[in-house]
Structure 1
Amino acid sequence: MTDQVPYGRWPSPIGADLVAALDGRPEYAGSVGEELWWTEPRPAEGGRRALMRLRPGAAAAESVLPQPWNVRSRVMEYGGQPWAGLDRGAEGPLVVFAHFADQRLYAVEPDAGTPPRPLTPPGDGTGGLRWCDPVIHPAFGEVWCVLEELDADDPDAVRRLPVAVPLDGSAAADPAALRELDGPRHRFVTGPRLSPDGTRAVWLAWDHPRMPWDGTELKIADVGPGPRPAFSGVRTLIGGPEESVAQAEWDRDGTLLAATDRTGWWNVHRVAPDTGRAENLCPREEEFADALWRVGSRWFAPLGDGTIAVVHGRGTAVLAVLDPATGGIADAQGPWTEWQASLAVRGTRVTGIAAGPDRGYELVCLDTATGHCRTVAAGHVDPVGPAHHAQPRQRVFTGPGGREVHARVHPPHNPDAAGPHGTRPPFAIWVHGGPTSRSAGILDLEISYFTSRGIGVAVVDYGGSTGYGRAYRNRLRGQWGVVDVEDCAAVARSLVAEGAADPAGLAIRGGSAGGWTAAASIALPGTAGLYACAAISYPVLDVAAWGPGLTHDFESRYLDSLIGPPDESAERYRERSPVHHAHRITTPFLLLQGLDDPICPPAQAEALLAAVEGRDVPHTYLTFAGEGHGFRRAETIRTALEAELALYLERFPAAG
């Protein structure tokens, strides 16, 4: 028999310590011969990323590098593929990786027992040189990758270009040993991929003010002969200002495969390298790629038999095998409904990082010969059991003008408690970051932390989110601070109208771009009084003070599309910014900020605090030294969760 307990105060086995200890997920899976490698979070070790290795037949994975090695790139601040491996048979693997602390590339031969040796010149991790998306070319004795060169004194002086790094370590002391494969003709690039016959290379490029989901170009170059081949004849094959190519790979026959949204959806096309003629291999109103936030993301991978492993879906991302001859597609079987853009192919095996409504992310392998799919490493372990997790429901709500608003609703759930008769539960509206991103319908302990205590969570894929086609993404063009705020409010009001939520017990919560929406939702008149409180993390709050020279280069012109070009839209920038409407804020809020955040610096949060100073607005401001954009350390995650719960318990009437 369940006990009647006020919402928010249900007894739960999911504590903040537990959530913090299990925060993060494996990333960047890859094959090195028959071995599987990836990176894994270590919240208890200062949030570092450990490099993991699973040998054939081994019962468990092993960490390749001890503390303080941290395998993580800072290219474009969000990073990208940070490592590459080479199978050398009896000699053991050679692995190249980016170390977070100094952003240098290192090489390590783990079976030789020697420490990592630097391949690139020193850097301090903030200015200087950064690297990502490496590919080892033993025939040339080089690593081909992306170089990001920054000037600490001039944030606008940035170069990104494809570069060859000698494997012998000569460039560690002599930067002249680095070889530029192409000049800095574009502001942003991905790493070059060499054709099977070695005569051509391709990569993606784009420029300000475009973001990669707005428009990119697939570049192709001729590769000269010799041990240090040069690029020539660089040209654009497909893409442009209104066509986003998210990934390109060579197929075994020398043609190209590319995920482009020229149809309004990111579909996989076969592209002729001579002419750029593109054939859609599986025309569907589904996404076979997503926003390119991280260089080296891989949503598809060609297989040796001519088929293609793909991640696809509409609001989801499932693994499948695509037959380009027929356009047929066969989904992998199993409980995994979300696959990361990190596919590793070896023979008939496709390994990726996947999760589902009843499990967190784990490494999963599909054998395409048998159709069998199984967990192979970093297996999900539920520390409390499924009874304490809410099952998310995919919903489509109606927003202003009858537009669709996608969301995932996690109702309060606990087998041992229920709310008092005649009462409704409180609900927190969660706003994902990005804003060009989306939520994932997976088991998330952070969500269960709240739902198991009697607080519902609705995660909103507001207009502008990925996963639903280009037209849905483009809803946010010029409308950031309007469409996102309205769509979140539409979900909140619908839950109240349905009787699912207490109208006096609504909260809004978000980080980064989600923090902007949460703050705007308590500052702008259209949603005044809707929310009882707000939890705001590392936000953008004054867009006039967030642009070139004031944030990192990658997003410094993002606002051109989200709001409008600054020189044409100054009044709109002011109208939308929560900091300029602080006089309207009466809603209590929690503000969380990493002090080392280069993307949304503390100055953004401090501007809001200054604007509400002297006014009777209950608020709490917590800062975290050593944390950047998103929290990685166990102690930070624990403190942030407990502070958010305390806010809800104080402000939700049903929790009294």
Structure 2
Amino acid sequence: MSSIAPYGAWQSPITAEDVAASSRTPQWVGTHGGQVWWAEARPAEGGRIALLRAAPGEAPHEVLSAPWNARNRVHEYGGRPWAVVPTPAGDRLVFTHWDDQRVYLVDPADPGALPRPISPEPERLHGHRYAEPTASPDGAEVWCVRETVTGDLRTDVRRDLVALPVDGGAADDPAAVRVLAASHHFLSGPKPSPDGRHVAWFGWDHPAMPWDGTELCVAELTDGEFGPHRVVAGGPTEAVCQFEWDDAETLCALTDPDGWWNLYRIGLDGEVRNLHPCEEELGGPLWQMGPRWFARLGGDRYAVLRAGRLAVLDAGAGRLSDVDSTVAGAAGVWGATLAADGEVLAGVVSGPRQHPTVVRLDLGTGELAALGDQPASSPDPRYLPEPQPRVFPGPNGEEIPAYVYPPTNPDYEAPDGERPPYLVHVHGGPTGRVFGVLQLDIAYFTSRGIGVVAVNYGGSTGYGRAFRERLRENWGVVDVADCAAVAEALAAEGAADPERLAVRGGSAGGWTTAASLTSVRTYRCGTAMFPILDLTGWSEGETHDFESRYLDGLVGPLPETADRYRNRSPVNRVDHLAGPILLLQGLEDEICPPEQSLRLVDALAGRGIPHAYLAFPGEQHGFRRAETIVTALRAELSFYGQVLGFDPPGVPRLELRH
């Protein structure tokens, strides 16, 4: 029999420790030698990225144990950190190690082998960063993207495509590193053609972001040297986000000349053909280097992702068919890390009640195998909310997609007539999106009687370029209005308490949180995690090179729109703050650095507005350590309880400043 208790005060079996454990997520899947390989985040090990592999029918085996950490800092968000490459001595695992950012090589077949560096030690810590390693045609070198720190400013970075000898000659001799090309300020990893006669990569330049415009380049290869390149696809308003060689004379690429990321076949002779024209996104934004939204299956067939749904594109038949990839009783959402070995696919699948899981799918037989177990702390499904896909009307008649996660706990009911508090969850980016999958931090709240709605506001990906560009020069306007419209609609229909609405988000979501609290009266309070709060400071050297010109498109060019930067920034609008704010910040964050949060804290001093600021040593952008995740989540729950008027049981009380 259910107990009666106010929303927010329900006892829940889902703990903050469970949420931290669920952050042990797989990523960067690949196949080699009939085995599936992947990286895996380990919050309990300080956020270390381990590397695992699994042969058919066998349990996963850890390839890189502690202290090895397969992660890099390229663009600060990181890029594909590993590959298995053929060398004259046999197959070797190559990876980037977080501690020193160098490239290492090891024989994966020798359990006693120790990784050895093949890139030189830089003069300054993390002075070189590498990503997207691949083998040269003869296997004597590893080709990759290299970032070089050239000065003390966050924007003092240069990028090159480089070659590292697999014999380790460059480890002690920087002169042994060969620079292959540097066509653009930003570069993807180079990929040689199957016959070794050509090489392709793509690049872009400031002020464009990679979803604005990129160029796919091809150059001839002569004795390992790159010739002059030519552009075969892309441009200022066309963004290539992934490419693969189809054969020696043909590339396949995801690009969007018609406003949707579709799959194109591009011949070196200049012929370009959309393999299946559709108003659907088969690609996505390049926040990290090396995601894979499609994989070649052979012939004219490709595995593709239709907004997370797995499908097979048969170019010869002109057909795009969904694939049944049901896992744990629910349709799966596939991450952008597809890998194929013939008819066998590997990737990461999530579901409404399923944590991200590495799977192996045989398209020939339909056999689907999960290669990893769900976390041991996975909660009883009865306590997990079922995300409800909704479309809400926007302020000007636009459609705003969202997922509603209602309060869910079989042990409790609220008193008659009480409506639940609701959190508006704002995704990061802002060029990103949310899917209707299990997020245990959301279940942490819903199982306690707090509803959550995750909004794909204007500017989100997955709905075409026109929807994405609704945010152009309107950041802090469109995102704020769309999120507020969703919250107010839930209140108007009786699903949410209009007096107990809150907003939360990290990074760009933290910006929208603070911008909302200082421009609309929809919310009582909000939580901004590692946020942007001062547009002027952020655009004048307080962020990393990758996003240092992002605001040209999101807000406007400088100096022409300087007033817009000042007027929209929450640090300049604290007198408009609608309610209390909680700030959560990593102290090693190079993307949204601590000075952004501290500036707002200083502006709040003595104003009598309840607020709290928690800073976490050792954390970069986003929280990776279990202890940080636990502390932050408990603080957030206590914060909502104090402001929204409920008493969450078993949670330490967060001290609020005034």
TM-score using structure 1 length: 0.95
Distance 1:511 1:125 in 2: 30
Equivalent residue number for residue 523 of structure 1: 518
Distance 2:125 2:212 in 1: 27
Distance 1:511 1:119 in 2: 36
For residue 385 of structure 1, report the CA deviation from its aligned partner: 1.7
Q: Rate the CA distance shift 1:400–1:61 in 2: closer, same or farther, 3 A.
A: same
1:298 aligns with 2:297: no
Equivalent residue number for residue 342 of structure 1: 337
Distance 1:117 1:414 in 2: 51
Conserved in 1, the CA contact under 8 Å of 2:191 and 2:200? Answer: yes
Distance 1:480 1:522 in 2: 14
Aligned ranges 1:185-204 → 2 under 5 Å = 185-204=183-202
Aligned ranges 1:305-454 → 2 under 5 Å = 305-313=299-307, 317-333=308-324, 334=326, 335-379=330-374, 383-454=378-449
For residue 382 of structure 1, report the CA deviation from its aligned partner: 6.6
Equivalent residue number for residue 21 of structure 1: 21
Equivalent residue number for residue 162 of structure 2: 163
Conserved in 1, the CA contact under 8 Å of 2:60 and 2:371? Answer: no
**Amino acid corresponding to residue 128 of structure 1 in structure 2:** G
For residue 155 of structure 1, report the CA deviation from its aligned partner: 3.6
Distance 1:574 1:522 in 2: 16
Q: Rate the CA distance shift 1:75–1:548 in 2: closer, same or farther, 3 A.
A: farther
For residue 86 of structure 1, report the CA deviation from its aligned partner: 3.1
Conserved in 1, the CA contact under 8 Å of 2:215 and 2:232? Answer: yes
For residue 311 of structure 1, report the CA deviation from its aligned partner: 1.2
Conserved in 2, the CA contact under 8 Å of 1:120 and 1:172? Answer: yes
Q: Report the secondary structure of 2:396's partner residue.
A: helix
Conserved in 2, the CA contact under 8 Å of 1:103 and 1:125? Answer: no
For residue 306 of structure 1, report the CA deviation from its aligned partner: 2.9
Conserved in 2, the CA contact under 8 Å of 1:301 and 1:310? Answer: yes
Say which of 608, 632, 637 aligns to 1:640.
Answer: 632
Q: Rate the CA distance shift 1:322–1:126 in 2: closer, same or farther, 3 A.
A: farther
Q: Rate the CA distance shift 1:499–1:22 in 2: closer, same or farther, 3 A.
A: same
Equivalent residue number for residue 544 of structure 1: 536
For residue 154 of structure 1, report the CA deviation from its aligned partner: 4.0
Distance 1:566 1:345 in 2: 45
**Amino acid corresponding to residue 278 of structure 1 in structure 2:** V
Aligned ranges 1:266-305 → 2 under 5 Å = 266-275=261-270, 277-305=271-299
Structure 1 residues not aligned, in runs of 5+: none
Distance 1:391 1:85 in 2: 39
Equivalent residue number for residue 555 of structure 2: 563
Q: Rate the CA distance shift 1:611–1:214 in 2: closer, same or farther, 3 A.
A: same
For residue 185 of structure 1, report the CA deviation from its aligned partner: 3.0
Equivalent residue number for residue 589 of structure 2: 597
Distance 1:20 1:125 in 2: 33
1:134 aligns with 2:126: no
Q: Report the secondary structure of 1:429's partner residue.
A: strand
1:120 aligns with 2:137: no
Equivalent residue number for residue 38 of structure 1: 38
Equivalent residue number for residue 107 of structure 2: 109
Say which of 198, 201, 207 aligns to 2:205.
Answer: 207
Conserved in 2, the CA contact under 8 Å of 1:81 and 1:295? Answer: yes
Equivalent residue number for residue 656 of structure 2: none
Structure 2 residues not aligned, in runs of 5+: 649-658
Conserved in 1, the CA contact under 8 Å of 2:141 and 2:166? Answer: yes
Aligned-residue identity in percent: 51
Conserved in 2, the CA contact under 8 Å of 1:80 and 1:294? Answer: yes
Residue-by-residue CA offset, 1:578-614 (whole Å, 9 max, x unaligned):
0000122241111100000000000000000111111
Distance 1:553 1:62 in 2: 37
Q: Rate the CA distance shift 1:382–1:639 in 2: closer, same or farther, 3 A.
A: closer
For residue 376 of structure 1, report the CA deviation from its aligned partner: 2.6
Conserved in 2, the CA contact under 8 Å of 1:213 and 1:244? Answer: yes
Distance 2:124 2:229 in 1: 31
**Amino acid corresponding to residue 299 of structure 1 in structure 2:** W
Q: Report the secondary structure of 1:603's partner residue.
A: helix
Distance 2:364 2:300 in 1: 13
1:260 aligns with 2:259: no
Q: Rate the CA distance shift 1:87–1:174 in 2: closer, same or farther, 3 A.
A: closer
**Amino acid corresponding to residue 287 of structure 2 in structure 1:** W
Q: Report the secondary structure of 2:146's partner residue.
A: strand
For residue 273 of structure 1, report the CA deviation from its aligned partner: 1.6
Equivalent residue number for residue 493 of structure 1: 488
Distance 2:123 2:498 in 1: 50
Distance 1:44 1:364 in 2: 23
**Amino acid corresponding to residue 23 of structure 2 in structure 1:** D
Q: Rate the CA distance shift 1:286–1:301 in 2: closer, same or farther, 3 A.
A: same
Distance 1:500 1:123 in 2: 57
**Amino acid corresponding to residue 164 of structure 1 in structure 2:** A
Conserved in 2, the CA contact under 8 Å of 1:143 and 1:164? Answer: yes
**Amino acid corresponding to residue 318 of structure 2 in structure 1:** G
For residue 541 of structure 1, report the CA deviation from its aligned partner: 0.2
Distance 1:123 1:582 in 2: 43
**Amino acid corresponding to residue 598 of structure 2 in structure 1:** E
Q: Rate the CA distance shift 1:150–1:88 in 2: closer, same or farther, 3 A.
A: closer
For residue 304 of structure 1, report the CA deviation from its aligned partner: 2.3
For residue 623 of structure 1, report the CA deviation from its aligned partner: 0.5
Distance 2:153 2:493 in 1: 53
1:175 aligns with 2:174: yes
Distance 1:598 1:332 in 2: 40
Q: Rate the CA distance shift 1:337–1:468 in 2: closer, same or farther, 3 A.
A: farther
TM-score using structure 2 length: 0.95
Distance 2:398 2:528 in 1: 27
Q: Rate the CA distance shift 1:188–1:47 in 2: closer, same or farther, 3 A.
A: same
Equivalent residue number for residue 484 of structure 1: 479
Q: Rate the CA distance shift 1:50–1:140 in 2: closer, same or farther, 3 A.
A: closer
For residue 341 of structure 1, report the CA deviation from its aligned partner: 1.3
**Amino acid corresponding to residue 65 of structure 1 in structure 2:** L
Q: Rate the CA distance shift 1:92–1:271 in 2: closer, same or farther, 3 A.
A: closer
Equivalent residue number for residue 150 of structure 2: 151
Distance 2:267 2:629 in 1: 48
Q: Report the secondary structure of 2:312's partner residue.
A: strand
Q: Rate the CA distance shift 1:321–1:381 in 2: closer, same or farther, 3 A.
A: farther
Conserved in 1, the CA contact under 8 Å of 2:241 and 2:283? Answer: yes
For residue 265 of structure 1, report the CA deviation from its aligned partner: 0.6
Distance 1:578 1:96 in 2: 44
Conserved in 1, the CA contact under 8 Å of 2:18 and 2:377? Answer: no
Equivalent residue number for residue 598 of structure 2: 606
Equivalent residue number for residue 535 of structure 1: 527
Q: Rate the CA distance shift 1:364–1:453 in 2: closer, same or farther, 3 A.
A: same
For residue 538 of structure 1, report the CA deviation from its aligned partner: 0.4
Distance 1:298 1:125 in 2: 32
For residue 110 of structure 1, report the CA deviation from its aligned partner: 3.2
Distance 2:457 2:24 in 1: 24
Residue-by-residue CA offset, 1:116-151 (whole Å, 9 max, x unaligned):
100101138865111000112372401111111112
Distance 1:174 1:262 in 2: 44
Q: Rate the CA distance shift 1:381–1:87 in 2: closer, same or farther, 3 A.
A: farther
Distance 2:63 2:90 in 1: 13
Residue-by-residue CA offset, 1:224-281 (whole Å, 9 max, x unaligned):
1x3xx11112111111110011111111363111101111110001111221x32111
For residue 438 of structure 1, report the CA deviation from its aligned partner: 0.3
Q: Rate the CA distance shift 1:489–1:154 in 2: closer, same or farther, 3 A.
A: closer
Aligned ranges 1:615-654 → 2 under 5 Å = 615-653=607-645
Aligned length: 643
